[in-house]
Structure 1
Amino acid sequence: MYFIGYDIGSSSIKAALLDADSGRCVASATSPSKEMPILVQHPSWAEQDPESWWQEVIHATQLLRQQFSFDAALVKGIGIAYQMHGLVCVDKEQQVLRPAIIWCDSRAVEIGNDAFTALGDKYCLSHLLNSPGNFTASKLRWVQENEPQVYERIHKIMLPGDFIAMKLTGDACTTVSGLSEGTFWDFSTNSVSKKLLDHYNIDQNLLSAIVPTFGVQGELTEKAASILGLVAGTPVTYRAGDQPNNAFSLNVLQPGEAATTGGTSGVVYAVHDKNAFDHHSRVNAFVHVNNEEEHVRNGVLMCLNGTGIANSWLKKMIGEISYPDMNQEAATAPVGAAGLQVFPFGNGAERILENKSIGATVTNLNFNTHSRAHMLRAVQEGIVFGLNYGMDIMAEMELDIHRVRAGHTNMFLSPVFREAFANTANVVIELYNTDGAQGAARGAAVGAGYVNLKEAFHGMECLSVIEPDAALQTQFRDAYGNWLNGLRSLLH
């Protein structure tokens, strides 16, 4: 028996085939081999063609088959993870009306800020747990104001994962967790926020029907099954945004547990058992995958947009060098990079900076002192310091994080990054042999009723544990303190 998981990212689409009996991933694929393009028609915009995600889902599924021959009739469920906060608009024929406005697009910041003022911080924070900010609801309002001819044709709006589920099943539906990530959800009433919709003059009928995170959400159509080489009627049984799903994939389900990622953007996501919020809305709370009315499970998320993208930008600037070689060279520079500081805020408005878009900055560069190695380390440390800045905000919400889990991938492949993270934040890091696609496949197994939440992680291995080093902690905390002073100067 098998389960398939898809992770719909902004860089690529990943697919995983999970053997249910062993709990192990027997095949995985990524498509395309190079990063998918992000359309930037204006500064601060970021769009992608949703149909391109579907084409890469098809290709990734073909690659799975090339890796491992399996009987499609033995696939008993499909799970979907996806890039959060995007907006896809379709008409009555389920045709895409415009490119998707994706997570790192900043065009709706002012719309959200105005709504925060108009609705009042007391309402927004106590009911939405967030400012409307740059989330999906505000992006939809932007379409309404700036592209009325498109808005008038919208039949349903959806998140990227909802779109892929629709391509699989023909059904337009979403989850409570998904509605919360778009700031459509009222945590106080456990219902769609009519007050926010009324403020934005959005018809609630544009929202898709609600289905459970775990459970049958639709069945594979004949058309989709034929294209993918699967069996019609195979159920889609799990769906979650990439960060809730990443936490799930790492068995982060209970209060105080935390997961982290270091992909294009970087995230720390911790589970809270209260409807808590940051008074400045610098970090965000969403409904976690295992939330129940009688047992609140919210995911508190801090995001640093400029993470892996900062490191990949530097790689492109350098030229012919591999990531392992970059990591090895960065390790030759001292902790603190001899005073060289990088503030990696060059990928749109940063939530932890109260939606400011200040751009990336390099300070204290000395042509006589600093080498390429210093710059390589300074970028990785700057990313870590940005993440730690967000964790300091989370601590103000009474989230006590001492241990975090991550997949052994992306920035966590770097010894310099791991060392800086553990010692700056004073946390133990556990690295696992998993990723978002594998997590989605495990979620599908839960949703299909094959395993429960306690059994879902059979076969997952902890690859390594990184503990803080008392001798290094002082050095990293000093470097972080200097970086904080530099950030304060940039913000004032």
Structure 2
Amino acid sequence: MLLLGIDVGTSSIKVAVVDALTQECVASAQFPDEESAIISPKAGWAEQSPEMWWEHAKTAILRANATGKYNPKDIGAIGIAYQMHGLVVVDKAQQTLRNAIIWCDSRAVEIGNKAFESIGPEKSLAHLLNSPGNFTASKLAWVKENEPALYESIDKIMLPGDYVAMKLTGSITTSVSALSEGVFWDFQEDQLSGDVLDYYQFEKSLIPTINPVFSEHGTVQQAVAAELGLTAGIPVTYKSGDQPNNALSLNVLRPGEVAATAGTSGVIYGVSDQLIYDPQSRVNTFAHVNYGEAQKRLGVLLCINGTGSLNRWIKTIAGTGISYAEMNRLAAGIPVGSNDLRVIPFGNGAERMLGNKLVGSHFHNIDLNLHTKAHLFRGVQEGIAFAFRYGLDIMRESGMNPSIIRAGKANLFLSDTFTEAFVNATHVPVELYQNDGSVGAALGAGIGVKAFQSEEEAFTKSKKLQVVEPTAIDQYEPVYQEWKALLQQHLNKN
């Protein structure tokens, strides 16, 4: 059986076709070739068109089909990974009513903070494991408050992956994992949060049917199948946010295991069997893909908005005409500490781990006679690595103390400079794997359609490429402490 995985990213849509028997990727494709735009009508706002995701997904699937490396009719199940925390709203005809408010949008911060205080910090953290903060529920509250006529037309709310599944199948479903990432789920009661629904005065009918992550979420409609060369009636059997999906694809499923990714955003994601939370909600706890009533599996998530987004920005500003590989090569020629250049990388919306403050990105100690674009490239990568260290120290306060971190050799982990800075700043070795979100989604579909006996069996042929050990902690630690002091100065201003 072949499995189709769709990864609905912020920058592009990636798809992969995987052979369930060999667990090998047969073909992959993405669209668009350049990064998708983020619509920002006001400072701190971030939106994308759900219809754009669907058109891009179809184009990516047709590109994969065009490789001729497989028969699309042999695809037997579909899995979807997606950018987390977004809000899609549709009417009874399944038409979108507005652009999606995506993960890095900051407009609902104060709405969520007021909900946190009204529900009560202690009760909110004990039951939701988070503050409502800037998550999907608070974004919906913003729509209700600011676009009341539109709100009245909403039939169902969705996350980005739910929308793509709806376009494939005509069915709208969700899961406990998805609801928890929107901060709609009460973990103490194991049900929709009455506190959140009551405080925001949301109708329960807005919530789609709740299914397990690994289960049927609808079957492909005849017209869609004809357009994409698929077999009508094949099921969508997996939907997950991109970070739980990344952890799944790295076989991070058991308590104590930790995954990381450094794409548009940066994430450290650890699995726990305890209902733990950060008292300040700087890191967040959600239901993992294998969460169930009999087996509590929680994902403790640290998210940094300004990682790959900053690396992309510095490429646009200073690296025009060169590749990321060339940027990495230039950065490697600069000594540790970038000759005193320090970069604070928080310029992509409010940062949860900094108390939802808008700190911005800052370049310190620029010497016009010394620093070159190579220094900028290295300084950016070191600054991002130091942000990971800062966040990991917060996770350590909650008992998450990884002895090793797994990551895909992709995005910033393609850079030896960044990887070296990451392991030496955090003091934790990294195992690098050949991994991809769309491949993980495909294997998730295989789990959902029972092509494998267990979640673990889906990754028995996972390829570990290398282990990177920290060997220069003494060089990086004083640089990190300088960076941390500069960050504290910015935090004190906010």
Name the TM tier (shorter chain). Answer: over 0.9
Give the alignment of 1:227-246 within 5 angstroms. 227-246=227-246
Equivalence for 2:468: 466
Equivalence for 2:340: 339
In structure 2, how many angstroms separate the alpha carbons of the residues matched to 1:454 and 1:277? 27
**CA RMSD between the two structures:** 0.9
Equivalence for 1:481: 481
In structure 2, how many angstroms separate the alpha carbons of the residues matched to 1:361 and 1:277? 30
Q: TM-score, normalised by structure 2?
A: 0.98
In structure 1, how many angstroms separate the alpha carbons of the residues matched to 2:154 and 2:404? 44
Give the alignment of 1:93-492 within 5 angstroms. 93-318=93-318, 319-451=320-452, 452-469=454-471, 472-492=472-492
Q: Is the 8 A contact 2:27 2:69 kept in 1?
A: no
Could you report, residue by residue, the CA deviation over 1:301-325 in whole angstroms, capped at 9, with x for unpaired residues? 0011000110110111112221111
Q: Is the 8 A contact 1:429 1:467 kept in 2?
A: yes
Q: Is the 8 A contact 1:136 1:183 kept in 2?
A: yes
**Matched AA of 2:231:** V
**Matched AA of 1:339:** D
Give the alignment of 1:46-125 within 5 angstroms. 46-125=46-125
In structure 1, how many angstroms separate the alpha carbons of the residues matched to 2:20 and 2:201? 46
Worse overlay, 65-74 or 322-331? 65-74
Worse overlay, 368-377 or 94-103? 368-377
Tell me the CA shift for residue 195 of structure 1. 1.0
Tell me the CA shift for residue 378 of structure 1. 0.7
In structure 2, how many angstroms separate the alpha carbons of the residues matched to 1:72 and 1:78? 12
**Matched AA of 2:455:** L
In structure 2, how many angstroms separate the alpha carbons of the residues matched to 1:41 and 1:328? 37
**Matched AA of 2:365:** N
In structure 1, how many angstroms separate the alpha carbons of the residues matched to 2:70 and 2:388? 41
**Matched AA of 1:5:** G
**Matched AA of 1:329:** L
Q: Is the 8 A contact 1:126 1:188 kept in 2?
A: yes
Tell me the CA shift for residue 196 of structure 1. 0.8
In structure 2, how many angstroms separate the alpha carbons of the residues matched to 1:223 and 1:188? 43
Q: Is the 8 A contact 1:26 1:68 kept in 2?
A: no
Tell me the CA shift for residue 68 of structure 1. 3.3
In structure 1, how many angstroms separate the alpha carbons of the residues matched to 2:128 and 2:165? 26
In structure 1, how many angstroms separate the alpha carbons of the residues matched to 2:213 and 2:228? 23
Q: Is the 8 A contact 1:24 1:460 kept in 2?
A: no
State yes or no: 1:34 paired with 2:6.
no
In structure 2, how many angstroms separate the alpha carbons of the residues matched to 1:230 and 1:288? 30
In structure 1, how many angstroms separate the alpha carbons of the residues matched to 2:378 and 2:23? 37
SS at match of 2:3: strand
**Matched AA of 1:236:** V
Tell me the CA shift for residue 203 of structure 1. 0.6
Q: Is the 8 A contact 2:44 2:107 kept in 1?
A: yes
SS at match of 1:134: coil
SS at match of 1:438: helix
Tell me the CA shift for residue 364 of structure 1. 1.6
SS at match of 1:16: strand
Could you report, residue by residue, the CA deviation over 1:425-465 in whole angstroms, capped at 9, with x for unpaired residues? 11111111111100000000010011021210133211111
In structure 1, how many angstroms separate the alpha carbons of the residues matched to 2:234 and 2:21? 19
Structure 2: any 5+ residue segments left out of the alignment?
none
Q: Is the 8 A contact 1:291 1:298 kept in 2?
A: yes
SS at match of 1:126: helix
Could you report, residue by residue, the CA deviation over 1:372-410 in whole angstroms, capped at 9, with x for unpaired residues? 222111100000111111100000000111211111110
Q: Is the 8 A contact 1:91 1:156 kept in 2?
A: yes
SS at match of 1:455: helix
**Matched AA of 2:220:** L
Could you report, residue by residue, the CA deviation over 1:229-286 in whole angstroms, capped at 9, with x for unpaired residues? 1011101111100000000000000111111111111000000110000010000000
Could you report, residue by residue, the CA deviation over 1:65-99 in whole angstroms, capped at 9, with x for unpaired residues? 11234233321110000000000000000000000
Could you report, residue by residue, the CA deviation over 1:10-66 in whole angstroms, capped at 9, with x for unpaired residues? 100000000111110010111111111111111111111101101111111111111
In structure 1, how many angstroms separate the alpha carbons of the residues matched to 2:89 and 2:456? 37
Q: Is the 8 A contact 2:26 2:70 kept in 1?
A: no
In structure 2, how many angstroms separate the alpha carbons of the residues matched to 1:317 and 1:267? 25
Q: Is the 8 A contact 1:283 1:303 kept in 2?
A: yes
Tell me the CA shift for residue 118 of structure 1. 1.1
Tell me the CA shift for residue 477 of structure 1. 1.2
In structure 1, how many angstroms separate the alpha carbons of the residues matched to 2:68 and 2:81? 22
In structure 2, how many angstroms separate the alpha carbons of the residues matched to 1:223 and 1:323? 40
SS at match of 2:251: coil
In structure 1, how many angstroms separate the alpha carbons of the residues matched to 2:456 and 2:264? 30
**Matched AA of 2:387:** G
SS at match of 1:217: coil
SS at match of 1:26: strand
Structure 1: any 5+ residue segments left out of the alignment?
none
SS at match of 1:309: helix
SS at match of 1:402: coil
Q: Is the 8 A contact 1:22 1:458 kept in 2?
A: no
**Matched AA of 1:214:** F
- Percent identity between the aligned chains? 52
Q: TM-score, normalised by structure 1?
A: 0.98
Distance 1:5 1:135, change over 3 A: same
In structure 2, how many angstroms separate the alpha carbons of the residues matched to 1:130 and 1:105? 18
Which of structure 1's runs of 4+ aligned residues deviate more than 4 A? none
